[in-house]
Amino acid sequence: MPQGIVKPSNQVVAAGDPLTVEMEIGANATAVKMLPGRVVVFDDADQTVMEAGAEAKGEVGFLEVDGTHKKTDAYAVGDQVRTVLGECLAVLTLLASENVTRGDPLVTAADGKLAKQAVGAMGAQGKVVAYAWESSNVTTDAEILVHWNPAAEPAAAA
């Protein structure tokens, strides 16, 4: 048995038993971006989600594979989708050209991807949603192992 966590090939969650909720891909979602391993936020209607943008506020979770989709299959608007909300180790998409080291805090980037949290004023850096579990420094989007553990974003100083 290998030491550590092995990235799964047919699901996103690698370890843990996180809270999951069945939601619907919302009307404002971009279908080609609704892939397992992408972070989602609430859409306009209750119980619907769409792709997260850069430094999103109030993220919901990330999309998981279901019995009718593979990791590379996008969900369509109106599809029911398993959304992971709870803490776990998971394989999520890191934005291209992000130089991360194990333990680096990650925030949402465009299209539901993740990026390293930038140094900046408190309350303007984005909410930490995960921590890198492995290092990455490649020029293309990368599927990396992360510790998914959304935290509250600190408020800006008054």
> Mean pLDDT across the stretch 116-137?
82
Domain that holds residue 131: 89-148
Radius of gyration of the chain from its Cα atoms, rounded to whole angstroms? 15
- Domain boundary among the residues 85, 113, 139 is at 85
pLDDT band at residue 69 under the 50/70/90 scheme:
confident
Domain end (from 33, 67, 85): 85
Domain end residue (candidates: 85, 112, 133): 85
Tokens representing 9? 């090939």
pLDDT in tens, 26-37: 999 999 999 999
Number of domains in the chain: 2
Measuring CA to CA, how many Å separate 121 from each of 118, 138, 153, 158? Answer: 9, 27, 12, 12
